[in-house]
Structure 1
Amino acid sequence: MSDPYPYNGRLSRWEEVAPGLVIVGVESLDPPFAFEPGQYATLGLMGPEGKLIQRPMSISSSADDLSEYEFFIRLVEGGAFTNLLWERKLGDPINIKGPKGRFLLQDDGRAALFVASGTGLAPFMSMLDTLRDRGQERQVVLLHGVSHEHDLAWRGELEALERDGFPIRYVGTISRPQQNPSWRGLTGRVETIVESQLDEHALTPETATLYLCGNPEMIVAVDESAQERGFDPEQVRKELYWPKGRTHGVAVGAGAAVTEAEDDDEADEEIEP
Structure 2
Amino acid sequence: MHTPIGKGEAVAAWILHPDYRTPPVPTAGVPPGPWRHPDGGQIMNGAYERRHSERQVEIVTVWYGYALSHWLGPRMPRFASPMVSPWNPVLAQGLTVEPGSPAPYRDESWCDRWIAEALLYGRKPYGAFTLPADDALRWFAKSGGTGLVYQARADGDRIRVVAGTAESYAQLFDLDALIADYLEALPPELAEPEAAALDLHRCHSPALHYILSEDAEIRFARAPLSVRGLTLGYPPCETAARIAVEAQS
TM-score, scaled relative to structure 2: 0.31
Please identify which structure carries the higher strand content.
1
TM-score, scaled relative to structure 1: 0.29
Please identify which structure carries the higher helix content.
2
